[in-house]
């Protein structure tokens, strides 16, 4: 490892409540793989990190990949794009993502620094009021992530689109109601999450909702950010119909700047929001007539961006392959950790962190974070953060995220810390 100074980055807050540091087990008896994240633990030894659903720890191999990007830039400068990034890094990452999602055409995977860039590009493909005499029609839910929700609400204000939002709760009827709405309306865009960020609910039958969409020309988009590398996902049955968005910030363990979208053949062939990468193969040719586009996923690329995230993602996904760590194995481990945490909750008697306050109680319907509904969510998250216990909250939802690096001992430390910190429920 070429980072001898890295642990010094984790200077501790002298005012933090005193408690024993969690020491990773060098040979954990469970299926935890803390050995892959040694720099992460060394950088902040007092931290208890339960936000894998947000900023997931990066494996050590991603540090080496980040350095490799710098070295490639120094060696080749501008030529790095044609020497390394486009011929090697991009195809490698496309192939590994396609394998994870069981997609047959890796080149139909586009990359961007964030998913909002893809959202804007997709929205730019919708019919405009000056063309059709009406705003574009969108079907979505009331629980989509902020980027999509904020963007569509702003466009509604100017009359550019109309939006029908289906409530995700009650969850036991959500998918039926969503499919019925998709079948009953002539929508231009249908957008829903695989795993909802504010609850953890996992859409069980993606295919049924996709098949229900009545308009054959509609763009069907799945926000897969909380599902990719967490929930075993097979898109083969709908790959010719759906756009699928995700990225590296969460369970792909690669950090910022490494987002991707699967682009189905034949849909949204000429986005208005477009950058020069969307036709990079014909640069230098004389341009005339319509603006040309690549026919594969490259038509949804933007412009120059920092590709270091793709280096990190390539290293992480390669590590998973070489170590034989599958999404199924990660999912099984996380479910075991969630179950153990729930088993320990009686120790927090009198607080809002109790099983009856879970938004999703059925483990088969739950993603990789536990969501507790409580008016104290923000206060509890802040108290925990002050003691270097990392969780997060969204409105009245307190979220605990689990990952490959957790074991029973870490959860025991979390419970012990929370016994001293979490206030009694009002």
Q: Which residue has the higher pLDDT, 349 or 288?
A: 349
Q: What is the pLDDT of residues 366-384, one digit of tens each?
A: 999 999 999 999 999 999 9
Q: Say if residue 68 is exposed, middle or buried (CB neighbours under 10 Å; 0-12, 13-18, 19+).
A: middle
**pLDDT grade for 152, boundaries at 50, 70 and 90:** very high
Domains observed in the chain: 6-61+327-421 (3.90.1150.10), 65-320 (3.40.640.10)
CA dist 416 and 122 (Å) reads 47
Residue 86 gets which letter from DSSP? I
Phi-psi region of 139 (alpha: psi -120 to 50; beta: other; left: phi over 0): beta
Q: Across residues 236-256, what is the average pLDDT?
A: 97
Whole-number pLDDT of residue 20: 56
Q: What is the pLDDT of residues 86-98, one digit of tens each?
A: 999 999 999 999 9
Name the pTM for this structure.
0.92
Q: Are strands 242-247 and 389-390 parallel, antiparallel or unpaired?
A: unpaired
Q: What angle do CA 272, 123, 242 make, to 5 degrees?
A: 110
Contact 374, 398 (CB under 8 A): yes
CA dist 337 and 14 (Å) reads 31
Contact 205, 194 (CB under 8 A): no
Q: What is the pLDDT of residues 208-220, one digit of tens each?
A: 999 999 999 999 9
Q: What is the pLDDT of residues 386-403, one digit of tens each?
A: 999 999 999 999 999 999
Summary mean pLDDT of the chain: 92
Q: Which of 352, 347, 372, 350 is nearest to 361 (CA)?
A: 372
Whole-number pLDDT of residue 426: 73
**pLDDT grade for 5, boundaries at 50, 70 and 90:** very low
Lowest average pLDDT, out of 16-25, 209-218, 325-334, goes to: 16-25
Whole-number pLDDT of residue 26: 52
Contact 228, 99 (CB under 8 A): no
Whole-number pLDDT of residue 289: 82
**pLDDT grade for 31, boundaries at 50, 70 and 90:** confident
Q: Across residues 234-263, what is the average pLDDT?
A: 97
Q: Across residues 318-328, what is the average pLDDT?
A: 97
Q: Do you find a cis peptide bond into 264, omega within 30 degrees of 0?
A: no
């Amino acid at each position: 490892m070429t980072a001898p100074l890295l642990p010094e980055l984790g200077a501790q807050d002298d005012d933090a409540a005193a408690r024993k540091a969690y020491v990773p087990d060098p040979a954990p008896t469970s299926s935890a793989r803390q050995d892959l994240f040694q720099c992460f633990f060394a950088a902040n030894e007092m931290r208890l990190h339960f936000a894998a659903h947000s900023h997931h720890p990066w494996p050590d191999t991603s540090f080496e990949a980040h350095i490799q990007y710098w070295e490639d830039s120094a060696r080749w400068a501008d030529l790095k794009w044609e020497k390394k990034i486009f011929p090697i890094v991009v195809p490698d990452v496309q192939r590994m993502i396609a394998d994870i999602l069981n997609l047959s055409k890796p080149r139909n995977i586009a990359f961007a620094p964030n998913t909002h860039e893809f959202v804007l590009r997709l929205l730019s493909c919708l019919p405009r009021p000056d063309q059709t005499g009406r705003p574009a029609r969108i079907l979505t839910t009331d629980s989509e992530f902020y980027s999509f929700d904020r963007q569509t609400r702003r466009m509604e204000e100017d009359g550019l689109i109309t939006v029908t939002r289906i409530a995700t709760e009650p969850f036991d009827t959500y998918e039926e109601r969503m499919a019925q709405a998709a079948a009953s309306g002539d929508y231009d865009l249908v957008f829903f999450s695989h795993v909802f960020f504010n609850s953890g609910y996992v859409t069980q039958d993606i295919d049924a909702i996709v098949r229900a969409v009545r308009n054959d020309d509609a763009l069907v988009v799945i926000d897969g950010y909380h599902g990719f590398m967490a929930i075993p996902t097979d898109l083969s049955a709908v790959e010719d119909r759906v756009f699928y968005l995700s990225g590296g910030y969460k369970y792909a363990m690669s950090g910022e700047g490494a987002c991707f979208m699967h682009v189905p053949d034949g849909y949204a062939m000429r986005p208005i929001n477009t950058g020069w990468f969307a036709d990079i193969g014909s640069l230098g040719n004389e341009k005339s007539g319509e603006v040309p586009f690549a026919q594969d996923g490259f038509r949804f690329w933007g412009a120059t961006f920092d590709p270091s995230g793709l280096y990190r993602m390539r290293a992480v996904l390669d590590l998973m392959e070489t170590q034989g760590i599958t999404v199924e194995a990660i999912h099984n481990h996380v479910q075991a950790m969630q179950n153990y945490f729930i088993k320990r909750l009686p120790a927090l008697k009198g607080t809002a962190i109790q099983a009856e306050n879970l938004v999703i109680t059925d483990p088969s319907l739950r993603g990789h974070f536990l969501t507790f509904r409580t008016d104290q969510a923000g206060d509890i998250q802040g108290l925990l953060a002050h003691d270097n216990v990392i969780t997060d909250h969204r409105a009245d939802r307190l979220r605990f995220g689990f990952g490959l690096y957790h074991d029973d001992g870490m959860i025991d430390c979390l419970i012990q810390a929370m016994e001293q910190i979490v206030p009694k429920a009002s």
